[in-house]
Amino acid sequence: MVYSELLGQILAGNEVTIEQALSWGELNNNQLNELFLAALQVTRHFHGNQVDLCAIVNAKSGFCSEDCAFCAQSVCHHPNIPASPIPTKETVLERAYEAESNGVRRFSLVTSGRGIGEEDFKKILEIYEVLRKKTHLGLCASLGIIGLAQARSLYEVGVTMYHHNIETSRSFFPKICTTHNYDDRLKTIHTASEAGLNICSGGIIGLGETWAQRVEMAFQLKELGVMSSAINILIPIVGTPLQKKPIPEPMEVLKTVAMFRVVLPGSVIRLCGGRGPALRSLQPMAFTAGVNGMLVGNYLTTAGREVGEDIQMLRDLEIEVARSF
């Protein structure tokens, strides 16, 4: 692989092949620099010099019936994560105002569980009504497996994007979750798309998957036509089956980010949970390896770093915070 050849291939509108992406799993550090450089130029060509910031609110936590091996909220594990009900509209609005003041462009409510019950869903819709009227944020939702009627209700209340991770590749998914299958997740994504919602979907790296399975996941997201691809890195949580998994090394994470960028040139590559522990001092390098989106603030059950630190990092890199949506 030569940097100029790969870049020329992508900018000419020719897609990267699975065989190419598989071959990058064995790149040495000097060769990785060529991949990073190509990823950076692809980002600039398709997305300019901007990073899209989003934030989430854990709108309902704990007591999830599913057995996802990485998750602290599953009733099948014992990580001692407290459960919480749907918050008040005032509480969520306060968080939304704070996010907006920090330059965040998108804001999402996230609930635990396989899906969401009608009573809770009604409360969620009421919160989105308030957010639509009182903020300028793009509204996203992550409510698990939903049907077409719920997806349409979200669209009608002003939600424009639905987030639903495929988590990993189809071939590895049975080792991560047994209480629902891969097609359940794909069906939800297709349902949200049918209702007019844009899609944010991705997964977690470091679950024990191979490089080939990461490539498989990237090409699945490409087939789904996602607008935003969320890349999380496993944070091993005590009480979960993956509590002893090692966190991927920084260069491994950056290589994965670059692969996603060149496979999905038109999508936002959004760096999310686990970026701090995995990338450590190399976090800024993610933005030269293909990242142009970032989840800021706290995550679902783990704390992120201060938003001001991320904003300063972007300023130091002379990267703009996207303002429109």
CA-based radius of gyration for the chain: 19
C-alpha to C-alpha distance for 214 and 220, rounded to whole angstroms = 10
239 has pLDDT over 90 = no
Judged by average pLDDT, the poorest of 124-138, 169-183, 294-308, 309-323 is 294-308
> Are 237 and 301 within 8 A, CB to CB?
yes
pTM for the structure as a whole: 0.93
212 has pLDDT over 60 = yes
Q: What is residue 82's predicted lDDT score, i.e. its pLDDT?
A: 64
Q: What is residue 76's predicted lDDT score, i.e. its pLDDT?
A: 63
Q: What is residue 297's predicted lDDT score, i.e. its pLDDT?
A: 78
How confident is the prediction for the chain on average, in pLDDT? 91
Bigger pLDDT: 205 vs 85: 205
pLDDT digits (tens, 9 = 90+) for 286-308: 999 999 999 997 555 455 568 88
38 has pLDDT over 90 = yes
Judged by average pLDDT, the poorest of 39-43, 258-262, 320-324 is 320-324
Provide the 8-state DSSP code for 235: -
Among 310, 318, 315, CA closest to 102? 310
Stretch 124-136: mean pLDDT: 97
Strand partners, 203: 167, 231
User: Could you tell me the two tokens for 192?
Assistant: 């949200």
C-alpha to C-alpha distance for 109 and 140, rounded to whole angstroms = 7
Other beta carbons within 10 Å of 253 = 26
Superfamily of domain 17-317: Aldolase class I (3.20.20.70)
